Chains A and B, each alone.
Chain A
Amino acid sequence: MGASQSGPVHMFQDLAYKTGFSIEQIKNLHNRFIYLTQAEDTLRREHLENVSDLALNPIRRQIIEAFFDKRNMGEKEKGCLQEIGFEEFVTVLSFFRPPKPHTADEEMKNIKKEKLRFLFNMHDTDNDGIITLDEYRRVVEELLSSYEIMGAETAKAITDAAMLEVASVTVGQMGPDEFYEGITFEQFMQILKDVEIETKMNIHFWNLDTRTVQCGK
């Protein structure tokens, strides 16, 4: 480790430049990465599945999947990775980085779009650019699965109602021959345009060492 000290530092700077995190944040994330992977070089699904707090999260599958989704790595190709390195890990997390203050409007729009794209990819499991009813149903089912009483049927009913809402808003009145395939990314942006996602889809990345920070406001 000691000999390669300059290696990580250089890598950190690179990453910091690429992802917008500060060096300290990257260092913290690196510590966490090492902790998660148990000092291995790459992160695999089971590493994340072992995170104890995650166990109760109803949509953990999708979230974990998002970490291995090539679309989130800024690559054009589709598909899933089996394991990711630190760089990919940070790249995915950078979707949750709060925008810097005084960001220009134009850039803010891009940030918003990127964040939405991330969410969209999370729902669009088969990578075809459309969230079909089936895909969305699965999301909602998982989302509601923590309420054991809300059966799958209810989840479905809710999904369908939601989907219909989307359809009625985005497409409007459909002709008799039209066919609603699902939510495209444009429609996805449209339905979430009022949600200020750029201010919501953020978490605090502390500059301090995360292991010592126990609480935050």
Chain B
Amino acid sequence: MASSVYLCLLRAVFLVCFVNPLIQGLSEDESVFQNPHHQQEENLTGLPIVTFKWHHVETPYLVIIWVFVAGLAKLSVVELNHHVISVVPESGLLIILGFILGGIVWGADRAQTFKLLPPTFFYYLLPQIILDASYFMPNKLFFSNLGAILIYAIFGTCWNAATVGLSLWGCYEAGVMGNLDIGLLQFLLFGSLIAAVDPVAVIAVFEEVHVNEVLFILVFGESLLNDGVTVVLYNVFDAFVALGGPRIDAAEIFKGIFSFVVVAFGGSFLGIGFAILLSLLTRCTKHIQIIEAGFVFVVGYLAYLTAEMLSLSAILSITFCGICCQKYVNANMDEKSVTTVRHAMKLLANGSETMIFLFLGVTAIDTEIWVWNTGFILLTLLFVFIYRIIGTFLFTWMLNKFRLVPIEVIDQVVMSYGGLRGAVAYGLAALLDEDKIPEKNLMISTTLIVVYFTVILQGITMKPLVQWLKVKRAAHSDLKLIEKLNNRAFDHILAAVEDICGRIGDNWWTRGWNRFEENYISWLLMKPKARKNRDYLFSIFHKLNLEDAINYVSEGERQGSLAFSRSDEAANVDFKKQFGSEFADVMPNIMVDMSNYELGIEHFSVTSIVKDTIPSVSLDIHGQDRKNAMDDINAHHLLQQHLYRSRKHHRHKYSRSHFSINQNEDEVQEIFQRTMRSRLESFKSTKMGVNPAKKITKHHKKELTHKMPNGHPDGTGHLYGDEVDIAVGSETGAINSTFMRDTYTVGAGIENPVFLPDMDSPTHSPPWLMETEAVAPSQRAQRRLPWTPNRLRRLAPMRISTCSTDSFLMADVSLTLEEHEEHSQTDHVEMRPVFD
């Protein structure tokens, strides 16, 4: 561990040492750069085979080298001794590492060649961080605490700016700072730039602390919005400074306040406008899926730049763009694009965050900017700290009068202590105009010290403080679904009780908004198909299902193949010999193909939850496998019959706009048809009326639903399978029961290939196959408690096998004959689409 860190450091050091003299050496020779051709003619007599063209690539090269170094820095910080990392937050470590790197650069150049320049920061590093923060904002939490957040962000920031500025000015007048060339307005300007809590620093620290969600959203939301507010305040005071003291009258002040409002709200509305644009755009990007993810970034950045152009608040603009678009964008875009966006967003944000902290460190190693004024610096630190606390308590006290759940004193302490200043303050300080503010360098160095102090010291002490104060932590629960259900129920209950009391309160507004949103906004901004299944509960459920499916598949693969090991020894061996390697390749492909196919057709409609996450192809194979084995047909034959050999040549095709998987409709079609044919055959041959019921989708054009016919004559068959499937044909919950079987005898009874037992029997006799063959669909599939409570005998073994991630829940159900009859009414096999 440690050695890798040193290695990384060494490498970084080496790079910097190597690159910098190089730049220096070359850039000194300006004339060479000016006339490269001239030089070439002079030095070279013939055709050069290779030339060293540093200047051609200098700028991008340097940029990329620094990005690389930042990446290495992050790597080394993360890989660092875990003891250190648990004490010092990452942001602090990066800054310290920046000091070192800066020292090296300075040592090589005798000047700081690399600095965090405000344009770089504001145009290239900040936007994606803000976009990321807002795009992943927990919206419900944010909006339900919006009032408090706005109070803190707007009034809190103004309070901080005003009090720090005024107090410093007071102290200056009292003569504490000696002789400085600063007036009241400059102090206020300084106060405004130092006022804002920085989202980058706050997220970096609070992410590691895991405080409770309300506290987190208050601090986080505040830091996000007050950045916008600070920039606006800064601009107003900057304008005042430019105007000069004597020319400011009441009208100008009024204009300043007015401009504050316009800039802040204008920016927010602009962001909402862009969010609408983005949502509308993603409605119609179905055919350019591969680039639709890009729109999120482009439009977000556009929102930022447009606001900047209109001198509105760019930060607020991009914030609201991200917050408002997330829901619709996520629903409209293809799931893969959503994943792309998420990852790319995190990548960009994390990258720039690393760069920012690193450069905050590097920048400090520069003799030019350091101007020391003990009084000014220490007093700033003191005031920043104290007024943050006073402000927080003051505004919380006011808020608590209205809040249903008061913010506790402990939370207030953490909030005040979490007032970390960061790169925004530095960026604004570096933006100051030296002509107007003679003491610019003093302000920069003070800002830097405040930043270091808050990020490093407060960052380090934050965790112990949170522990010591016993701040309520974020509850971590693995009960995802039930929690959501309960939350949903809560919302309705609270709204209902408010209705009964005849009170128009929070819940009334929330519900009214939800209804409006559902009826009009979603209609406008969402694809109709996306609207159908955007329910939150459903998406959670869907996600869990997917997770399980992935687990299941990977588990299967880890164990060699997806459960092709069967109890039938001979077949197994045969299979292993002949298809061992081939199969491993083919199988996943098919699975991907099938699932894509299905998803593609359904467009992720509700059915996909119900859809067993195990693709039907593979399952069917097993079903067939199993039965045929009973008839002594070997696996070889089976595979030939049922496995579609993936046409591999498609996979090597390069396409810029598509991933090659599943692009060939014929291929998919063929797989599908084969599968269906074999199903039909098995159906006929066994006369057991077994059909894989895959979907419940009544709403599809292509109905893949196969009822679960259930005509086992002697009534001893144990129907088992996906209950939802059966539900298609039945009316009441009672019938919809399902059942994993247990006293299942091979070859008898009804099988739903979906749940074929040997699906999950990767070894010859896995533990759960001992007495009976067990069914192992994916975890989530099992989690549809497969029984009818009425007939529930027991909720049988919650088996968690050691070699499978699947936990088992099987109910022992002996279905009565009546049920079978009921089912048999729906005993027809629907295979229409298959043979079309």
Residues of chain A within 8 A of B533, CB atoms compared: 149-150
**Binding-face segment, A1-9, A10-18, A106-114, A155-163:** A155-163
B493, B780, B784 — most chain A CB neighbours (10 Å): B493
A-B contact pairs, 26 of them (CB 8 A): A53-B495, A57-B496, A93-B500, A98-B404, A119-B493, A134-B789, A147-B535, A150-B538, A151-B606, A153-B728, A154-B609, A154-B610, A157-B609, A158-B481, A158-B541, A161-B541, A163-B785, A166-B479, A178-B798, A179-B793, A179-B794, A180-B795, A199-B404, A200-B405, A203-B404, A203-B503
- CB-contacts of B461-516 with A (<8 A): 472, 475-483, 485-490, 492-509, 515
Residues of chain A within 8 A of B696, CB atoms compared: 151, 153-154
A147, A162, A191 — most chain B CB neighbours (10 Å): A162
Query: In the complex the two chains form, is A158's CB within 8 Å of B538's CB?
Result: yes
CB of B431 within 8 A of chain A? no
Residues of chain A within 8 A of B107, CB atoms compared: none
State A150–B610 Cα separation when bound (angstroms).
11
State A140–B784 Cα separation when bound (angstroms).
13
- CB-contacts of B789-835 with A (<8 A): 789-790, 792-800, 807, 809
Known: A151-B696, A179-B793. A161 touches B537 (CB 8 A): no
Q: Which residue of B lies closest to A31 (CB)?
A: B502
Residues of A bordering B, CB below 8 Å: 29, 32, 35-36, 48, 51, 53-54, 56-60, 63, 67, 93, 96, 98, 101, 119, 122, 132-134, 137, 139-140, 143-144, 147, 149-154, 156-169, 171-180, 182, 191-192, 194-196, 199-206, 210-211, 213-217
State A59–B509 Cα separation when bound (angstroms).
18
A151-B606, A154-B724, A165-B783 known; 18 new pairs, CB 8 Å cut-off, are A29-B501, A57-B496, A59-B493, A143-B492, A147-B535, A149-B606, A161-B541, A162-B481, A163-B482, A163-B785, A179-B792, A194-B475, A195-B483, A196-B472, A210-B501, A211-B502, A216-B505, A217-B402
Query: In the complex the two chains form, is B783's CB within 8 Å of A161's CB?
Result: yes
Known: A158-B485, A178-B794. A203 touches B784 (CB 8 A): no
CB of B727 within 8 A of chain A? yes
Query: In the complex the two chains form, is B502's CB within 8 Å of A161's CB?
Result: no
State A166–B495 Cα separation when bound (angstroms).
26
Q: Which residue of B lies closest to A48 (CB)?
A: B500
Query: In the complex the two chains form, is A216's CB within 8 Å of B492's CB?
Result: no
CB of B544 within 8 A of chain A? yes
Q: Which residue of B lies closest to A192 (CB)?
A: B486
Q: Which residue of A lies closest to B722 (CB)?
A: A157
Query: In the complex the two chains form, is A162's CB within 8 Å of B498's CB?
Result: no
Known: A153-B727, A156-B724, A165-B479. A213 touches B789 (CB 8 A): no
CB-contact partner of B480 in A122, A160, A165, A217, under 8 A: A165
Known: A54-B499, A93-B501, A156-B784. A177 touches B794 (CB 8 A): yes
Query: In the complex the two chains form, is B502's CB within 8 Å of A35's CB?
Result: yes
Residues of chain A within 8 A of B255, CB atoms compared: none
Residues of chain A within 8 A of B798, CB atoms compared: 167-168, 171-174, 178
Residues of chain A within 8 A of B784, CB atoms compared: 156-157, 160-161, 164
Q: Which residue of A lies closest to B787 (CB)?
A: A133
Interchain nearest-CB distance for A59 vs B (Å):
5
Query: In the complex the two chains form, is A156's CB within 8 Å of B733's CB?
Result: yes
Top 10 closest A-B pairs, CB basis? A194-B475, A160-B785, A179-B794, A180-B795, A161-B783, A164-B783, A160-B784, A53-B499, A174-B798, A153-B727
Interchain nearest-CB distance for B212 vs A (Å):
8
A59, A156, A169, A175 — most chain B CB neighbours (10 Å): A156
CB of B723 within 8 A of chain A? yes
Residues of chain A within 8 A of B698, CB atoms compared: 151
CB-contact partner of B498 in A29, A167, A203, under 8 A: A203
State A75–B538 Cα separation when bound (angstroms).
38
CB of B147 within 8 A of chain A? yes
Query: In the complex the two chains form, is A63's CB within 8 Å of B795's CB?
Result: no
CB of B532 within 8 A of chain A? yes
Query: In the complex the two chains form, is B503's CB within 8 Å of A210's CB?
Result: yes
Query: In the complex the two chains form, is A32's CB within 8 Å of B606's CB?
Result: no
CB of B782 within 8 A of chain A? yes
Known: A54-B499, A150-B538. A161 touches B481 (CB 8 A): yes
CB-contact partner of B404 in A151, A173, A204, A214, under 8 A: A204
Interchain nearest-CB distance for B728 vs A (Å):
7
Query: In the complex the two chains form, is B503's CB within 8 Å of A98's CB?
Result: no
Known: A35-B502, A202-B405. A169 touches B544 (CB 8 A): no
Residues of chain A within 8 A of B508, CB atoms compared: 53
Count of B residues near A, CB < 8 Å?
79
Query: In the complex the two chains form, is B485's CB within 8 Å of A140's CB?
Result: yes
CB-contact partner of B500 in A54, A134, A137, A171, under 8 A: A54
Residues of chain A within 8 A of B498, CB atoms compared: 203
State A58–B485 Cα separation when bound (angstroms).
13
Residues of chain A within 8 A of B786, CB atoms compared: 160
Residues of chain A within 8 A of B404, CB atoms compared: 98, 199, 202-204
CB-contact partner of A60 in B472, B496, B736, under 8 A: B496
Query: In the complex the two chains form, is A51's CB within 8 Å of B724's CB?
Result: no
Interchain nearest-CB distance for B539 vs A (Å):
11
Residues of chain A within 8 A of B500, CB atoms compared: 32, 36, 48, 51, 54, 63, 67, 93
State A119–B477 Cα separation when bound (angstroms).
20
Residues of chain B within 8 A of A32, CB atoms compared: 500-502
State A210–B501 Cα separation when bound (angstroms).
8
State A177–B797 Cα separation when bound (angstroms).
7
State A80–B830 Cα separation when bound (angstroms).
47
Interchain nearest-CB distance for A54 vs B (Å):
5
Q: Mark B727-766, 1 if CB is under 8 A from A, else 0.
A: 1100001001000000000000000000000000000000
Q: Mark B398-426, 1 if CB is under 8 A from A, else 0.
A: 00001011100000000000000000000
CB of B699 within 8 A of chain A? yes
Residues of chain A within 8 A of B795, CB atoms compared: 167, 174, 178-180
Query: In the complex the two chains form, is A164's CB within 8 Å of B809's CB?
Result: yes
Q: Which residue of A lies closest to B484 (CB)?
A: A162
Interchain nearest-CB distance for A205 vs B (Å):
7
Interchain nearest-CB distance for A209 vs B (Å):
10
Interchain nearest-CB distance for B369 vs A (Å):
45
Q: Mark B666-703, 1 if CB is under 8 A from A, else 0.
A: 00000000000000000000000000000010110000
Known: A161-B780, A202-B404. A144 touches B785 (CB 8 A): no
Residues of chain A within 8 A of B496, CB atoms compared: 54, 57, 59-60, 63
State A144–B789 Cα separation when bound (angstroms).
21
Interchain nearest-CB distance for B575 vs A (Å):
31
State A73–B739 Cα separation when bound (angstroms).
40
Query: In the complex the two chains form, is B505's CB within 8 Å of A201's CB?
Result: no
Q: Mark B536-569, 1 if CB is under 8 A from A, else 0.
A: 0110010010000000000000000000000000
CB-contact partner of A200 in B490, B499, B733, B797, under 8 A: B490
State A29–B610 Cα separation when bound (angstroms).
46
State A179–B785 Cα separation when bound (angstroms).
12
Query: In the complex the two chains form, is B488's CB within 8 Å of A137's CB?
Result: no
Residues of chain A within 8 A of B402, CB atoms compared: 217
Interchain nearest-CB distance for B142 vs A (Å):
16
Query: In the complex the two chains form, is A216's CB within 8 Å of B506's CB?
Result: yes
Residues of chain A within 8 A of B723, CB atoms compared: 156-157, 160
State A93–B502 Cα separation when bound (angstroms).
12
CB-contact partner of B501 in A139, A173, A205, under 8 A: A205
Interchain nearest-CB distance for A164 vs B (Å):
4
Q: Which residue of A lies closest to B477 (CB)?
A: A194
Query: In the complex the two chains form, is B727's CB within 8 Å of A152's CB?
Result: yes
State A203–B541 Cα separation when bound (angstroms).
29
State A201–B493 Cα separation when bound (angstroms).
9
Known: A63-B496, A150-B535, A156-B736. A175 touches B797 (CB 8 A): yes
Query: In the complex the two chains form, is A59's CB within 8 Å of B503's CB?
Result: no
A36, A122, A153, A205 — most chain B CB neighbours (10 Å): A153
Residues of chain A within 8 A of B782, CB atoms compared: 164
Known: A54-B500, A157-B724. A169 touches B494 (CB 8 A): no
